Protein backbone atom coordinates (compact mmCIF):
# COMPACT_ATOMS: atom_id res chain seq x y z
CA UNK A 1 0.00 0.00 0.00
CA UNK A 2 1.19 3.50 -0.80
CA UNK A 3 2.63 5.47 2.07
CA UNK A 4 0.00 8.18 1.69
CA UNK A 5 -2.99 5.79 1.76
CA UNK A 6 -3.80 4.94 5.33
CA UNK A 7 -5.85 2.15 6.82
CA UNK A 8 -8.66 3.55 8.94
CA UNK A 9 -10.59 1.70 11.64
CA UNK A 10 -14.14 2.40 12.77
CA UNK A 11 -12.66 4.12 15.84
CA UNK A 12 -10.65 6.54 13.66
CA UNK A 13 -13.26 7.12 10.93
CA UNK A 14 -14.89 10.20 12.43
CA UNK A 15 -11.62 12.03 13.08
CA UNK A 16 -9.84 11.10 9.84
CA UNK A 17 -12.69 11.05 7.31
CA UNK A 18 -15.64 13.10 8.56
CA UNK A 19 -13.56 15.90 10.09
CA UNK A 20 -11.10 16.17 7.17
CA UNK A 21 -10.64 19.63 5.65
CA UNK A 22 -10.20 18.08 2.19
CA UNK A 23 -12.31 15.57 0.24
CA UNK A 24 -11.69 11.96 1.27
CA UNK A 25 -12.13 8.85 -0.85
CA UNK A 26 -12.79 5.83 1.37
CA UNK A 27 -12.10 2.45 -0.22
CA UNK A 28 -14.16 -0.24 1.52
CA UNK A 29 -12.31 -3.49 0.79
CA UNK A 30 -11.23 -6.89 2.12
CA UNK A 31 -8.09 -9.05 1.84
CA UNK A 32 -9.88 -11.89 0.01
CA UNK A 33 -11.47 -9.60 -2.61
CA UNK A 34 -9.80 -9.95 -6.03
CA UNK A 35 -11.34 -6.80 -7.56
CA UNK A 36 -10.25 -4.87 -4.43
CA UNK A 37 -6.65 -5.94 -4.99
CA UNK A 38 -6.90 -5.00 -8.69
CA UNK A 39 -8.19 -1.55 -7.72
CA UNK A 40 -5.38 -0.83 -5.23
CA UNK A 41 -2.67 0.20 -7.77
CA UNK A 42 -5.07 2.70 -9.38
CA UNK A 43 -5.80 4.27 -6.01
CA UNK A 44 -2.07 4.50 -5.29
CA UNK A 45 -1.51 6.34 -8.59
CA UNK A 46 -4.41 8.72 -7.90
CA UNK A 47 -3.16 9.31 -4.36
CA UNK A 48 0.30 10.23 -5.67
CA UNK A 49 -1.08 12.45 -8.44
CA UNK A 50 -3.56 14.30 -6.19
CA UNK A 51 -1.46 14.65 -3.03
CA UNK A 52 -2.51 17.72 -1.07
CA UNK A 53 -5.88 17.96 -2.86
CA UNK A 54 -7.60 14.81 -1.64
CA UNK A 55 -7.05 12.06 0.90
CA UNK A 56 -7.49 8.35 0.19
CA UNK A 57 -8.04 5.87 2.99
CA UNK A 58 -8.94 2.17 3.14
CA UNK A 59 -11.41 0.49 5.49
CA UNK A 60 -11.15 -3.29 5.81
CA UNK A 61 -14.80 -4.38 6.06
CA UNK A 62 -13.92 -7.70 7.71
CA UNK A 63 -12.35 -5.86 10.65
CA UNK A 64 -14.44 -2.66 10.61
CA UNK A 65 -18.12 -3.17 9.84
CA UNK A 66 -19.77 -0.16 11.51
CA UNK A 67 -19.25 2.50 8.84
CA UNK A 68 -19.65 0.02 5.98
CA UNK A 69 -23.10 -0.80 7.37
CA UNK A 70 -23.91 2.85 8.13
CA UNK A 71 -23.24 3.88 4.52
CA UNK A 72 -24.96 0.86 2.98
CA UNK A 73 -21.92 -0.88 1.52
CA UNK A 74 -23.35 -4.10 0.08
CA UNK A 75 -20.52 -5.22 -2.16
CA UNK A 76 -16.82 -4.52 -2.37
CA UNK A 77 -14.90 -2.71 -3.60
CA UNK A 78 -17.08 0.29 -2.87
CA UNK A 79 -15.56 3.75 -2.77
CA UNK A 80 -17.36 6.60 -1.07
CA UNK A 81 -16.23 10.20 -1.44
CA UNK A 82 -16.82 12.40 1.60
CA UNK A 83 -16.66 16.19 1.66
CA UNK A 84 -17.32 18.44 4.65
CA UNK A 85 -18.33 15.43 6.75
CA UNK A 86 -20.94 14.11 4.34
CA UNK A 87 -21.16 11.48 1.62
CA UNK A 88 -21.15 13.08 -1.84
CA UNK A 89 -20.63 10.14 -4.19
CA UNK A 90 -20.47 6.37 -4.14
CA UNK A 91 -18.64 4.26 -6.75
CA UNK A 92 -19.01 0.48 -6.83
CA UNK A 93 -16.64 -2.02 -8.39
CA UNK A 94 -13.20 -1.99 -9.96
CA UNK A 95 -13.88 0.94 -12.29
CA UNK A 96 -11.39 2.67 -14.61
CA UNK A 97 -8.99 5.13 -13.00
CA UNK A 98 -10.50 7.96 -15.10
CA UNK A 99 -13.92 7.35 -13.55
CA UNK A 100 -12.49 7.78 -10.05
CA UNK A 101 -10.44 10.86 -10.98
CA UNK A 102 -13.48 12.49 -12.61
CA UNK A 103 -15.57 11.91 -9.47
CA UNK A 104 -12.83 13.38 -7.28
CA UNK A 105 -12.31 16.39 -9.54
CA UNK A 106 -15.99 17.30 -9.10
CA UNK A 107 -15.29 17.77 -5.37
CA UNK A 108 -12.28 20.07 -5.71
The yes-or-no verdict on residue 105 having pLDDT over 50 is yes
pLDDT tens-digit series, residues 15-39: 999 999 999 999 999 999 999 999 9
Q: Domains in the chain: how many in total?
A: 1
Q: Which domain holds residue 44?
A: 5-105
Catalytic residue ranges: 33, 36
Contact between residue 35 and residue 75 where contact means Cβ atoms under 8 Å apart = no
> Does the bond joining 77 to the residue before it have cis omega, within 30 degrees of 0?
yes
Q: What is the CATH number of the domain that holds 94?
A: 3.40.30.10
Angle between helices 34-49 and 97-105 (to 10 degrees): 50
The yes-or-no verdict on residue 2 having pLDDT over 60 is no
pLDDT tens-digit series, residues 38-71: 999 999 999 999 999 999 999 999 999 999 999 9
Tell me how far the alpha carbon of residue 68 is from its chain's centroid: 11
For the chain, how many residues are written? 108
Amino acid sequence: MAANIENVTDAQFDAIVLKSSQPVLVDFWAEWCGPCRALAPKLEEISNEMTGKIKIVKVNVDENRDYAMKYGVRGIPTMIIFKNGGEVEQISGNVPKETIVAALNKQL
